[in-house]
Amino acid sequence: QVQLVESGGGLVQAGGSLRLSCAASGSIFNINAMGWYRQAPGKQRESVAIVTRGGSTSYADSVKGRFTISRDNAKNTVYLQMTTLKPEDTAVYYCYANKFYGPDYWGQGTQVTVSS
């Protein structure tokens, strides 16, 4: 089993910044991709940013140029640096990880609220 614990969420004004962190523990071997999804009330969960074990990244169009994902493989931690936040970024952000030939793992979620 892999446990994912997020931190860094909170309330911020539009234009501000937050950095989310997600630490993986447990059976961390064979972790491939890690990243972040988000879900706003009444909306479906969507991918925000993903980074593979080798360092390839992908971003949702809505956050390109504003968010940066990074990963520390030695610490089994993934980060999401969010800048120029907008009210539409308000959501619960979930850490994600998968394994080669294995299941997906999800964190408990952390609330990000951006006020106008």
Residue 28 neighbours by CB under 8 Å, 6+ apart: 2, 76
Measure Cα distances from 93 to 1, 99, 101, 105 in Å. 21, 20, 25, 14
Q: Give yes or no for a contact between 18 and 79, defined as CB atoms under 8 angstroms apart.
A: no
Q: How confident is the model at residue 54 (pLDDT cuts 50, 70, 90)?
A: confident
Is the pLDDT at 73 greater than 90? The verdict is no
Determine the 3-state secondary structure of 89 from DSSP: helix
- pLDDT on residue 26: 95
- 10 Å CB burial of residue 108 (0-12, 13-18, 19+) is exposed
